[in-house]
Amino acid sequence: MRPSTAVSVLLLTFLALPAFAQPAPPAGPALRDDPRVAQRLHLLATWVDAYRAYAELPGLSMEVVHDQDVLWRQGFGLADREAGVPATPETIYSICSISKLFTGIAAMQLRDRGLVELDEPVGTYLPWFIIEQTYPDGPPVTLWGLLTHSAGLPRESDYPYWSPPSFRFPTREEVHSRLAEQETLYPAQTYFQYSNLGLTLVGEIVAEVSGRPYDEVVRSQVLDPMGLADTRPEMPADLVGGRLATGYGAPSRNADGQVVRGRLPLFDARGITPAAGFSSTADDLAKFASWQLRVLDRETHEGEEILSRNTLREMQRVQWLDPGWEIARGLAFGVYRRDDVTYVGHSGSCPGYRTAVWIQADHEMAAVAMGNAGDAETELLVLRAHQIVTPGVEAALAALEEGKTVDPALLVYTGRYSVAPWGGEMAVIPWQDGLAVLDLPTDDPLDSLWEIRHVEANRFRRVRDDGELGEEIVFETDDAGNVTALVQHSNRWVRIDTP
């Protein structure tokens, strides 16, 4: 890439970034600087910023990874509304059920060492595993069944820990003692039933077979070797008000009919930690994703790893497919099919937090989204991150043609224009070798994007889906030459950001 081209691309990448945004450092892999990638990262940042604002979410942190390189990392909004603490890629969130992936890896390490077998009954490793068998003639509850959520166990240990206001989780001893009073929901190997109880038992097997406390095992055998210094099998209470994001509930109506989003107390998963108790950052989950991509591509990356390529692939293959053919699970990992593309990973939802990490191994891509509110649609965020960025990365790697760049003179038109009261706004962004308009808010930014082609001076034309030119788009300027409004179909839409 020519120096002048790189400068213009970097300029457009950082235009109109929201307050408290932390773009990736300017130094680093050339891939993020390629116009085909940079424009798509700009689109992603613009969309996520609007998504957070219109959903009135407190804060979000996101990252996009290609193999071992972070292409984009950014925080949006606030980790603590009351204190005004910004959300960043270093902000710590509860990752809740993503904890299951670390527990599953620890269990598979024991399997690879010959210390456990996946098809052995759970009672082989946990003598206290006693539960009422509703279907005594069914298959036994095995470690494989626990890891695939097909063991027929109930979803939870029999305590109301998801209920406000206390969100009191049971201790390990309470989980043990109450288990004998519970009963299986289905025969093993019959249906998928997501089970925090099941993955909690996997953690108990890890501790029992290792002869050490669960948290010691997972730190020394999984987290530390991966270099995940900000990932913990607990919520760091000493960081409340600082790096640990404050959790907020989803909007709900109170007794007066007012919609409120409450600040939630910090919880401690205690005995459910192997299934839901970890905390982490977007930076660390990006490292975790890169570790997986490195292990999966052993032909490119050499060196010792804590898990073999074959074992990780085994964990991420479909091991269980529910009878309806809609739910697929690996070993601890979720396997998701969207628009004929397969992703693996997990999401997590705990009081005040929602997170997701999805990996698309075929393109060596991963996306992380973390929010400090129960209604943050992190699965949608990571899906859209993949759909937006991956085509640009593939085009850049293929290098079929020189990446298209935008005439710097057109960048003055980029910004946000209000369409109230009929909608939210239109964001004008660099796209291909010109500009495009993104209608906001939207759940599908690629579908809501339409190109405009420069004609002359401040005049553009909309590009129809068939490639023909449609109506005229005219930008108005003030006496100083600053763009102040956009006119379409004779209607004037005022610019709402600072030129």
pLDDT value at position 469?
A: 97
Domain stops at, among 366, 397, 428? 397
The range of the structural domain enclosing residue 380 comes to 57-397
For residue 230, is it within any domain?
A: yes
Q: Rounded to two decimals, what is the model's pTM? A: 0.92
Lowest mean pLDDT among 5-19, 225-239, 260-274, 337-351: 5-19
Shared-domain flag, residues 308 and 216: yes
Residues pairing with 74 in the sheet:
62
What's the number of domains the chain is made of?
2
SS3 450: strand
For residue 460, is it within any domain?
A: yes
Shared-domain flag, residues 436 and 457: yes
Q: Tens digits of per-residue pLDDT, 57-103? A: 999 999 999 999 999 999 999 999 999 999 999 999 999 999 999 99
CA atoms within 13 A on the CB side of 474: 8
Q: Tens digits of per-residue pLDDT, 228-262? A: 999 999 999 999 989 999 999 999 998 999 999 99
pLDDT mean over 467-479: 96
Shared-domain flag, residues 338 and 420: no
Q: What percent of the chain has a predicted confidence (pLDDT) above 90?
A: 87
Q: Tens digits of per-residue pLDDT, 269-324? A: 999 999 999 999 999 999 999 999 999 987 666 668 999 999 999 999 999 999 98
CATH number for the domain spanning 64: value is 3.40.710.10
Residues pairing with 92 in the sheet:
244, 281
Lowest mean pLDDT among 150-154, 206-210, 403-407, 417-421: 403-407
For residue 14, is it within any domain?
A: no
Q: Per residue, what are the HEC states of 136-202?
A: CCCCCCEHHHHHHCCCCCCCCCCCCCCCCCCCCCCCHHHHHHHHCCCECCCCCCCCCCCCHHHHHHH
Single-letter amino acid, residue 452? I
Report the distance separating Cα 378 and Cα 357, nearest Å: 9
pLDDT higher than threshold 90 for residue 22: no
Residue 185 burial (CB count, 10 A): 16
Cβ-based neighbours of 218, under 8 Å, separated by 6 or more? 102, 103, 106, 206, 233, 274
Shared-domain flag, residues 129 and 66: yes
Shared-domain flag, residues 313 and 440: no
pLDDT value at position 13?
A: 41
In this structure, are residues 415 and 395 in contact, taking their beta carbons and an 8 Å threshold? Answer: no
Q: What is the dihedral of CA 138, 143, 145, 146, to 10 degrees?
A: 120
SS3 32: helix
Report the distance separating Cα 344 and Cα 48, nearest Å: 22
Domain stops at, among 341, 374, 397? 397
Residues pairing with 449 in the sheet:
438
> Which tokens belong to 287?
């490292």
Q: Tens digits of per-residue pLDDT, 205-228? A: 999 999 999 999 999 999 999 999
